[in-house]
Every structure is written in structure tokens, then in C-alpha cells.
Structure 1
């Protein structure tokens, strides 16, 4: 494990010291999914006025037990990015400032590891531990990892903005972590590909990218894994999800019911949306 800089230490200290600085619960934020009315097949803004605010709110995900909700926020006044959370206590959701944003955070399916690009933190009895580097195969100066997500099998999917905006995969074979390799042209096609999410069962990946046949600035795409382990051709998630604006940073709730993503159009700074995950199942190829 590589030593981390003083800046990283300070960030870790801030993460641990601020996690428990909870704000009072809002009466309306009670019950599952922060008490929000569940969407159908048309994407809706998630928790307007609480999660989706006047600021730039991005990168949403739940903990595996669905009692913690995380997202990042860019303050319009200061320009600073913060990792935020809502924690459910006695059926009410309480807002917390976790600390400065590092990378594009994502919680592993085991609920014990927070990925932050090439860094990670482990959950402790007192909150989140110190910031650590994943390892030398991920800590390369010629790579630029914004988002890394993992499956229950330990598969990592990560982007790389320094190497032509591509997506890489790192699998575990016979208990050994394999070096990340670039995915094929089924995925890495177009102007750029970034911010990938991998399903807990390794059955698909979702990411955002720009292609000539897209609907706008960037669209969300999905690739399903075939029986032979290869990845299928990228499928655009369609006009219900993608618009002339920018869609990005998707994730699926741990219960598999809802797709969360960001949408940025000319009239907004960027909000978090959610939609019934049937938009995914309708695209899944029949592999019988």
C-alpha cells in the first residue's frame, strides 16, 4: 500500500470528524426511499428540495441495507464539492455532511468499502476509516480514474479519462486480483465513456458516453454480459431516460427496483433522477 499525502490524511480526518454531524430530520423524509413517491417508467427528480437542491447534486447510491443514501453536492456559492448522506434512524432520514468529495464515491455491495476512484475507505465502529490507495495497479500517473464500482464477485469497473476516456475491467480469478484491461469496442466507442456502474451479479454495466447516434450531450448506455462472459453491444437506454441534456453517473438501488442517474439540462445545475428499473429489464436480451 502506497503512503498517502498529507492532503489525503486531512481529507480522511475531515471525513471521520464530520460524519456524525447530523442535521435534524425533515418530517416529510420518513419511510423507504426517503419517503418519496415511487416513479414509474418516466424519470422523476428524487427528493426535490432535500437531495435535489439549487446546487449541483450528483452521483447517488444507497447502502446495501437501504438505510443510508449518499450523493455529492457542488455548492454554487463556494464551488466546493461535498460528500453528503441521509441516514435512516427510527424511520426518519437525517442529513449529514460526510466530508470533502474524493473521486466519484460508491459503496461496494458488502457495505463495508467505500470506493473513491483509486482510493477507498473501510467502515469502522466509529464511521469511515482513513483514506487508502487500492494498489499499485490502480495508482498510475498516466491513468485518470473518476469512478470505480464493484460487484459482489469483486469485479471492478472503472473509467480512465487520461487514456482516451475509456472503461476498464479488473476481475478476481482464483482469488487473485487481475490487472485492469480496457473493454472492447462494444463499450469503448464514441467520443468518450465514463462513470460506469456494474450490477452486483456482474450481469450488466451502465455508463455514460457521447456517440453520434445519441440523443444529446451524453447518454446512458447498457451492456449485458453474455453466457460466454463477453459483453454485448452497447444499448442506448432510450428517449425516456436520455434527453438533449446530459445524463450521467447511473446506479441501481441494491433491491434492484430503481435506476438513479444525473440529468443536467440548460435550466438546472444538475439533479438526481430515478425511474423504475424495468427500463433495464425491457432491454435485456433473451439468452435462453
Structure 2
């Protein structure tokens, strides 16, 4: 075969391979779009998720899915941050329904929700009254459990050594380690804490990191191998820490600049592990999503 014929043959084969690759990529993107009921799916650069879900009169905050991806829960507030409500939309006939109050929403402030890895418990933060000794009037952690197909009345989650503190944005591992942020009731001295479950009760909480800038809104992976949170130093930046072999958390590192570009918080990873969702601040707040491939290859040694 002459060289020119060989070159043409290779170019033809490459073009066929590229066409097949792009076709598969489009089919995969369409499949994911159908899964989340969206037209456009992000890769390594964030996109707004369901823009227009909330009217201009409100701000949208954290958003999470039920474990089967059939429901999407999100927090809205007025622009003065005076009232927080948790809303939910459902998949109905291939599209998202109109929003309504979530089953655990109350006349008080509710926010910072997450499902347990098995999907049978929802944890959230609320300002509803607590009938407990020493508990002050501020945000506390609550939970509702799914029993015999019905969600039960929310119960106060007692963290013994933090009853007089603000506690919010809980997220839990398969082992029952509850991560959240806590501060004084005036929001000063905010940091991340973890409380371990023992005999059905959470024990005294400990700080996740002993030093560093203030932190808030944690997300922990189901098996507890990585932790994403917002660093409170200047604008909010999303940070990630990986669990080391000695069971300690590694040095936190910022997520890529294409994610950290305008004050981010409320990180959450979808139940399938494929997408990171977070709240983007600025003049127009929005929930953004991005492929976890944008940062999952990062380790303490790869920055």
C-alpha cells in the first residue's frame, strides 16, 4: 500500500472512531439529561441547575435529591434572610412538578437538609422550639425517619455538649458519624464538628480540624472518605479534604478556580456520585452543578 493510501485509511478510521465516540457521548449526555430532567448536562465547568425555579423575590440556597432522584428539595429565603423554607418538586410525567412545601417544613426557619446514605432519614436544621434542658433559641439539628412508607414527625437531635450553640447543616456517613457546623448563637466562632452515634444516641461533638479559618456547610461522602465544605475567609470557597490511612483528615485544598469563582457554599454530591451541586452567591444566587470528575482525581499530593 502506498503511503498516501495508508494515510487516507488511517484518517478514515480515525474519523469513524471520533464519530462513534461523539455519538456515544451525546447518547450518554441525553441519558443523564433524562435522569435529571434537564436539557444540558455539565462536564468540568459548572452550569446553573434548573434556572428560574425560584422567582426573583427569593434567594435559592441548598438543594438535594431523594436517593432515587425522583424528588428535589431546596431552600428558599427572602432577600433579608428573615424566613427560610424548604420546598420540594417531584418528577411527574417526564417533567418537574410545581414546588410545594417539604413534608418537614414548618412555620419556623428550616434549612441545611440531607438524606442518610440509605435514604430512610432526613436530617435538617431548624429554629423550631426545643424542649430540652439548656437548649437555646437558635438553629438546632432535627431528623425525620421513614417508617412503613411514612415520614414520621421530626425529632430534635441532641448533641450534649452543643445544646447552647447554634448547630446546622448536618450530613451523615454510613457508620453514623454526623458532620455539621456549629457556632455561638450570634454566628461567631463557626467551625466544623463531628458527633459519633453510639447506642442510638449522638455523643459529644469534636472539631473536625484543630486549626485554620472558619468553616461551614459540610458535605461528607457516604463512606466518609472525603469532606467538602465552605471556608469562611473573604468570599466563601469550597474546600476538599481526603481521609488518610490513619483515619485523620488530610490537608484541605480548594476546588478548581472554575468552581470557586464567586462565593460558594452548601456543597452536595448527588446519590450516584456523579455531580457536585453548590450555591453560588453574587447578585443573582443560583444552584450550580458540575461533574465530580472536575476534582475527584485530586489528592493531597496532586495540588
Give your verdict on TM over 0.5: yes
Contact 1:87 1:96 in 2 (8 A): no
List aligned pairs for 1:69-108, cutoff 5 A: 69-76=72-79, 80-94=83-97, 95-98=99-102, 99-100=105-106, 101-108=109-116
Match of residue 229, structure 2, among 189, 193, 207: 207
Contact 1:84 1:96 in 2 (8 A): yes
Match of residue 259, structure 2, among 225, 235, 241: 241
CA offsets per residue over residues 225-273 of structure 1, 9 Å max, x none?
A: 0111110001101211111x320010000100000000111x21x1100
Match of residue 55, structure 1, among 27, 51, 58: 58
2:200 counterpart of 1:182: no
Q: Distance in 1 between matches of 2:174 and 2:66?
A: 13
State the Cα distance separating 1:136 from its structure 2 match: 4.9
Contact 2:195 2:203 in 1 (8 A): yes
Aligned position for 2:131: none
Higher relative contact order (CA 8 A, sep 6+): 1
State the Cα distance separating 1:210 from its structure 2 match: 2.6
Q: Distance in 2 between matches of 1:189 and 1:170?
A: 20
* Residue range with higher mean Cα deviation, 274-283 or 163-172: 163-172
Gaps of 5+ in 2: 1-32, 126-140
Judging changes above 3 Å, is the alpha-carbon distance between structure 1 residues 139 and 78 closer, same or farther for their aligned structure 2 residues?
closer
Would you tell me which structure has more helix in proportion to its own residues? 2
2:167 counterpart of 1:159: no
Match of residue 236, structure 2, among 201, 206, 218: 218
State the Cα distance separating 1:60 from its structure 2 match: 0.9
Aligned position for 2:22: none
Q: Distance in 2 between matches of 1:207 and 1:52?
A: 27
> TM-score scaled by structure 2?
0.73
Match of residue 261, structure 1, among 270, 278, 294: 278
**How many correspondences in the alignment?**
247
Contact 1:137 1:179 in 2 (8 A): yes
2:298 counterpart of 1:283: yes
Q: Distance in 1 between matches of 2:201 and 2:79?
A: 44
State the Cα distance separating 1:221 from its structure 2 match: 0.5
Q: Distance in 1 between matches of 2:224 and 2:202?
A: 16
2:153 counterpart of 1:134: no
